[in-house]
Every structure is written in structure tokens, then in C-alpha cells.
Amino acid sequence: MTHSLHRVGTEESLSRDFVVAALPAMGINNPGHEPKLQEFLRMALKHNPKNYGVGSYGNEFSHDGEQVIQHATGMAHAVFTSVDDVKAFLKELKAADLGMSVIVSGILDKVNQAVKDAGLKRHTVNVSLGVWGNTKRLPPEEIREITTMCGHGMIATNLVKKLIDDVRSGATTAEEAGKSLAAPCCCGIFNPARAAELLAAAAKK
């Protein structure tokens, strides 16, 4: 899974941003995998996720949460701000042994420790090498810290700029702005809690 690899930010900020995903191996164990993904999401709900969803349907900010779970197919995601919550979730997933591939994205040393503490052994690591090319054309980093939390590019730069202005003027709160940005990110890997922190910080400038 690479669409969660390119999140931009400081180590401190990204240390409160973890994505856990589950999916079957197509052609091997994908027949009848939907109930297992549903169980994955129901287990995630016990561990304080800030967002969850499935790419084929949407996330909890765009649809009713139970409907998101009922439509789970292909790949499911949940987002956390606490590495301890991730660790507890991984322990439960290990015990459940759903037979799905599980991917955790986040600061590598923190993910490694969570995996180890959960009694699991890491299989593979994917690392982002950054953005190449004419990077001067990119939006400012304070914008990309927010937009890159949607790996499919569904969060518009100008919408983020508008919401920063709205938070600055008092037209909305950073928390509500973060939730509104989460809705277009169909697979549910956008972290509205981290977005609220980033929007509030940008609005003070």
C-alpha cells in the first residue's frame, strides 16, 4: 500500500498519525473476505480510531458508520493518533487471525516498536523517497501537511486555504474544519484530529 506513504510533516506531528489497513490477497483468499474486513473495522472501533473507511464506499464522515462497515470490500482502513492504540489493535488482530494482510503506516521506529510489542514480525517495509521534479510548483508545506493525508489527492489545496481563513476569522472551528476535509477522502485514511491541529496552527500565522 503506497497511498499512505507520502504524508508530510514534522516527526512530532507524524508521531500522532498512524494508518492501519487490511486486505486479502487477490486470487488466493479474496473469495468471501468481506466479513473479515467487517470484523477488522469492528475491532478498530474498540481502539479510538479518528477515521475509518473503505475505498469502494467511503468513510465515517461521508456515510453512516455502520453502513461503511456493511459495505467493506477490497480494503479497509482505520486511522489512529496513539501508538498505544495501534499496539492494542494489532494484538487483537493477531489473536483474531483473520487471514488478511495488515499494513501499518507511520513513523518507522514507532511502527516497528508497536509491531514488536504486539508479538508480530514485520514482513516488508515501503519508504517514501519524497517528491521529485519541479517542487517549486507545489503548495506550501503547511498545506501539503494536510492534503497529503489523502493519498488519492481528493483534498483540494484551495479548500484547505479557505478553511484556514475560516478558522482564523472564527467562521468555523479547527475541529469542524478537519472533519469537513475528511469527507472527500473516500478510503478513510485522512486524519481529522491531526488536520485540526495543523489548521489551528496555520490560522495563527
Q: Which pTM value belongs to this model?
A: 0.95
pLDDT tens-place string over residues 126-183: 999 989 999 999 999 999 999 999 999 999 999 999 999 999 999 999 999 999 999 9
Are 169 and 32 a contacting pair, CB within 8 Å? Answer: no
Q: Domains for the chain: give ranges and CATH numbers.
A: 11-117 (3.30.70.1110), 138-200 (no CATH)
Query: Measured in Å, how far apart are the chain's first and last C-alpha atoms?
Result: 35
Q: How many CB atoms lie within 10 A of CB 69?
A: 23
Number of H helices, E strands in the chain: 9, 5
Residue 76's DSSP bridge partners are: 22, 54
pLDDT tens-place string over residues 17-49: 999 999 999 889 899 999 999 999 999 999 999
- pLDDT over 80 at 1, yes or no: no
C-alpha cell at 16: 500522532
Which residues have a Cβ under 8 Å from the Cβ of 56 and sit 6 or more positions away? 71, 73, 74
pLDDT tens-place string over residues 76-107: 999 999 999 999 999 999 999 999 999 999 99
Q: Is the dihedral of CA 156, 162, 168, 169 positive or negative?
A: negative
